[in-house]
Structure 1
Amino acid sequence: MTHPYGDYGRSPAAGSLRHVRPSPIFLAIVAVCAASTWYTWHDDGSSEAATRTGVFLLVMSGWLVSLCLHEFAHAFAALRSGDDSVVGKGYLTLDPLKYSDPLLSFILPTIFVLLGGIPLSGGAVYLDRSAIRGRVRNSLVSAVGPLTNAVLAIALALLLSSGAVDGASPTFTAAFSFLIQLQVIAAVLNLLPVPGLDGYGVIEPWLPYDFRRAIAPYAPYAILFLFALLWSPSVNGWFYDVIDHITDALDVSPFLASDGYRLFRFWS
């Protein structure tokens, strides 16, 4: 998720991979994801508590990795488009603590995933939009976040359908399917033209300036309204029908994803 208004007045700079330095926190999350993957891959189902804990750690660490990649994509695209402020802010370190808007980064995403399995990107990168050259580039900077989730969903689905995980336990397959579903949901939700989401960021550069400034303070409330809509049975049913069609197209079973979500909710 990109924040519509950031710093102003910085000079443009060309992006470069030399600024990319994965942080210890990001590497630790990757390590947890790898360890929980190994555990759930070999899970024999002998302990339901251990099974559910393993699934929870795998899904949450995998989601955090994708969140970091989502926000990194915004920042790197912004750097390549002229905004060098992202370097000093640490956005290229993939450290989730750098994408720190307390409401958007931690509180709302945690509530949404735990209560309804609905993932928002969670982070917020504050960009110097004035340094990004042109409206097309500004739109692309917003679009690359959800496109990252879409690419991850496709890549993970290809691993699942290719037979690469055929030796894994049913626990792992269910958790992996749910993680793919989360990527699909994140891509679809973030592309909606709702203030505070990336879909709005795509069209925002083309809207009148006064309108953008007037809408900005209400962005968090728009997200809450969207979440409330998704709790409506009719809207929720329609939305997940769309998600199921997409996961089916990716050759991922919605039933396996549902089982993964059940295991993920270890407290229920």
Structure 2
Amino acid sequence: MLGSERRPYGVSRAHFRPSPIFICLAGLVVVSGWMAWTNFGNARFNVFLFVVSGWLVSLCLHEYAHAVVAYHGGDRMVAERGYLTLDPTKYTHPFLSFVIPLVFVLLGGIGLPGGAVWVDRHAIRSRGWDSFISFAGPATNLLFTIALVLPFAFGVDTATHPVFWQAVAFLAFLQLTATVLNFVPIPGVDGGNLIHPWLNPQWQRGFAHVAPYGMLILIALLWTPSIGGLFFGFVYFLGDLIGLPYDLVYYGRELFPHLNM
């Protein structure tokens, strides 16, 4: 927690206190994880609750990472906007940050990046900080992925609580897809925003024109069979490198209720 002497005028401890909504989401992860671990009730329902609540928690942390780096990089108004409370209702476009990514999870296994923390780039003290703001979000997804995969890397016995470990593996897969997608250098996506400060003014103007449509471009590319195939091939390659068990991912996805199109 920052000391009071380092907080600007008008910023109190309440601006940094986790919101009740986030605490409830984190609690739901724990409860649904226990339900999956103990085979309490319906397995499909338990996996659904665990994956969706875990995914929403990761989206909150993703946006928080952008905001907290922006705060230290010079934009102290992110605290006033409520971004540092992990409250999903405070983001500029909750539809883009939460609804659309959640729909793609329900479609069956794409961790689509969100992105709705508004940062005053003019207040950021350097290009390095500006890039770090964009890097922080997908880096959070990467850390989330590693944390979920670590038990498998250490040889955990997945046969004793199979439903739980299948849910963990599927959530790890979603986090890995989100990590890769967020680093794609498309305007309007974190990967594009990461390189934006280092472009010449002419390229920056071009990026600014394309950025509002960046997410739509990304979705269209994923829907193209050839590009989508290359994307998932790369994700599977990375998953193999870090020890993600794809048999458990498959069973976790089969247990997870998803929309059919």
TM-score (norm 1): 0.85
Aligned counterpart for 1:157 among listed residues 131, 135, 149? 149
Is the alpha carbon distance of 1:123 and 1:53 closer, same or farther for their aligned partners in structure 2, counting shifts above 3 Å? farther
Q: Which amino acid aligns with 1:133?
A: R
Question: Within 5 Å, which residues of 2 pair with 1:8-47?
Answer: 19-43=15-39
Distance of 2:27 and 2:53 partners within structure 1? 9
Distance of 1:37 and 1:186 partners within structure 2? 21
Give yes or no for contact 2:88–2:94 (8 Å, CA) kept in 1.
Answer: no
Shift of 1:35: 0.6
Question: Within 5 Å, which residues of 2 pair with 1:35-114?
Answer: 35-43=31-39, 50-114=42-106
Give yes or no for contact 1:42–1:168 (8 Å, CA) kept in 2.
Answer: no
* Fraction of identical pairs, as percent: 46
Are 2:220 and 1:228 equivalent residues in the alignment?
A: yes
Secondary structure of the residue that 1:54 maps to in structure 2? Answer: helix
Are 2:111 and 1:140 equivalent residues in the alignment?
A: no
Shift of 1:153: 0.8
Give yes or no for contact 1:229–1:236 (8 Å, CA) kept in 2.
Answer: yes
Is the alpha carbon distance of 1:217 and 1:99 closer, same or farther for their aligned partners in structure 2, counting shifts above 3 Å? farther
Is the alpha carbon distance of 1:266 and 1:219 closer, same or farther for their aligned partners in structure 2, counting shifts above 3 Å? same
Distance of 2:12 and 2:33 partners within structure 1? 29
Q: Which amino acid aligns with 1:21?
A: R
Distance of 1:13 and 1:212 partners within structure 2? 31
Q: Which amino acid aligns with 2:23?
A: L
Secondary structure of the residue that 2:27 maps to in structure 1? Answer: helix
Q: Which runs of 5+ in 2 are unaligned?
A: 1-6
Q: Which amino acid aligns with 1:97?
A: T
Distance of 1:245 and 1:87 partners within structure 2? 39
Is the alpha carbon distance of 1:201 and 1:173 closer, same or farther for their aligned partners in structure 2, counting shifts above 3 Å? same
Instruction: Work out the number of aligned pairs and report it.
Output: 252
Secondary structure of the residue that 1:126 maps to in structure 2? Answer: coil
Bigger drift between 258-267 and 31-40 goes to 258-267
Counterpart residue number, 1:7? none
Bigger drift between 61-70 and 245-254 goes to 245-254
Q: Which amino acid aligns with 1:36?
A: S
Distance of 1:210 and 1:233 partners within structure 2? 33
Is the alpha carbon distance of 1:168 and 1:17 closer, same or farther for their aligned partners in structure 2, counting shifts above 3 Å? farther
Distance of 2:258 and 2:198 partners within structure 1? 45
Distance of 1:260 and 1:247 partners within structure 2? 15
* RMSD between aligned residues: 2.5
Q: Which runs of 5+ in 1 are unaligned?
A: 1-11
Is the alpha carbon distance of 1:266 and 1:239 closer, same or farther for their aligned partners in structure 2, counting shifts above 3 Å? closer
Aligned counterpart for 1:204 among listed residues 196, 199, 214? 196
Aligned counterpart for 1:238 among listed residues 230, 242, 249? 230
Give yes or no for contact 1:13–1:83 (8 Å, CA) kept in 2.
Answer: no
Q: Which amino acid aligns with 2:55?
A: W
Secondary structure of the residue that 1:97 maps to in structure 2? Answer: helix
